[in-house]
Chains A and B, each alone.
Chain A
Amino acid sequence: VKLRDVVETLGPRLRLRVVADAGEMDKEVTGGYTGDLLSHVIGKAQPGNIWVTVQSHPNIVAVAVMAGLSGIIIVEDAAVDAMTIRKAQDEHIPLFATPLNSYQVVAMLAQAGVAPAE
Chain B
Amino acid sequence: VRIITPETLRLADEKGIVLVSTPCSMFEACGRLYQMGLESVDIRDAERRSTEERLTELSAKYKQFDIGVKGLRDLEHSQATLREYGRIQELMYELSVCDIMTTKVVTVNPSDSMRHAKELLRLHRISGMPVLEAGRLEGVISIEDVIKALEEHRIDSEVRKRMSRHVVSIGAHERVIEAVRKFSKSGLGRLPVVDESGVLVGILTKGDITGRLITILEPRLEQDVAQKPQFHEVIENLLADEATLTLRYRVVANDFARAGEGSSKIKRALQSLRVPAALIRRVAISSYEAEMNLVIHSEGGYLSAEIGPGQVSIVTEDSGPGIEDVEKAMQPGFSTAPDWVRELGFGAGVGLCNIKRCADEFHLSSAPGQGTLLRAMILLEGEQS
A binds B: yes
Residues on A close to B: CB < 8 A? 36-40, 42-43, 47, 53, 55, 57-63, 65-68, 83, 91
Q: B260 is contacted by which of A40, A47, A66, A83 (Cβ under 8 Å)?
A: A66
11 A-B residue pairs with CB within 8 Å: A38-B345, A39-B349, A39-B354, A43-B357, A53-B345, A55-B344, A59-B256, A60-B345, A65-B267, A66-B260, A83-B257
Closest to A37 in B: B348
Closest chain-A Cβ to B269's Cβ sits at a distance in Å of 13
Assess the A65–B264 pair: CB atoms within 8 A: yes
Interface string of B327-365 (1 = CB under 8 A from A): 000000000000000001110111101100100000000
Q: Counting CB contacts under 8 A, is B285 at the interface?
A: yes
The list of the 10 closest CB pairs from A to B, nearest first, reads: A62-B260, A37-B348, A43-B354, A39-B348, A66-B284, A66-B288, A38-B345, A39-B350, A55-B345, A36-B345
Q: Counting CB contacts under 8 A, is B317 at the interface?
A: no
- Enumerate chain B residues within 8 angstroms of A66, measured Cβ to Cβ: 260, 263-264, 267, 284-285, 287-288
Closest to B278 in A: A47
- Enumerate chain A residues within 8 angstroms of B277, measured Cβ to Cβ: 47, 68
Q: Counting CB contacts under 8 A, is B259 at the interface?
A: yes
Bound Cα distance from A47 to B277, whole angstroms:
10
Q: Counting CB contacts under 8 A, is B261 at the interface?
A: yes
Given contacts A38-B348, A62-B261, 12 further A-B contacts (CB under 8 A): A38-B345, A38-B346, A39-B289, A39-B346, A40-B348, A42-B289, A58-B257, A63-B260, A66-B264, A66-B285, A67-B281, A68-B284
Q: B264 is contacted by which of A43, A57, A60, A62 (Cβ under 8 Å)?
A: A62
Closest to B354 in A: A43
Closest to B261 in A: A62
Interface range, B side: 20 to 34
Bound Cα distance from A36 to B346, whole angstroms:
9
Residue among A37, A42, A63 with most chain B CB within 10 A: A42
Assess the A63–B288 pair: CB atoms within 8 A: yes
Assess the B354–A42 pair: CB atoms within 8 A: yes
Closest to A91 in B: B264
- Enumerate chain B residues within 8 angstroms of A36, measured Cβ to Cβ: 345
Bound Cα distance from A60 to B257, whole angstroms:
11
Residue among B264, B288, B289 with most chain A CB within 10 A: B288
Bound Cα distance from A115 to B287, whole angstroms:
28
Closest chain-B Cβ to A84's Cβ sits at a distance in Å of 10
Assess the A58–B256 pair: CB atoms within 8 A: yes
- Enumerate chain A residues within 8 angstroms of B345, measured Cβ to Cβ: 36-38, 53, 55, 59-60
Bound Cα distance from A63 to B351, whole angstroms:
13
- Enumerate chain B residues within 8 angstroms of A65, measured Cβ to Cβ: 260, 264, 267, 284
Assess the B350–A43 pair: CB atoms within 8 A: yes
Assess the B281–A68 pair: CB atoms within 8 A: yes
Bound Cα distance from A65 to B285, whole angstroms:
10
- Enumerate chain A residues within 8 angstroms of B346, measured Cβ to Cβ: 38-39, 59
- Enumerate chain B residues within 8 angstroms of A38, measured Cβ to Cβ: 292, 344-346, 348
Interface string of B271-282 (1 = CB under 8 A from A): 000000100010
Bound Cα distance from A37 to B277, whole angstroms:
24
Closest chain-A Cβ to B340's Cβ sits at a distance in Å of 12
- Enumerate chain B residues within 8 angstroms of A58, measured Cβ to Cβ: 256-257
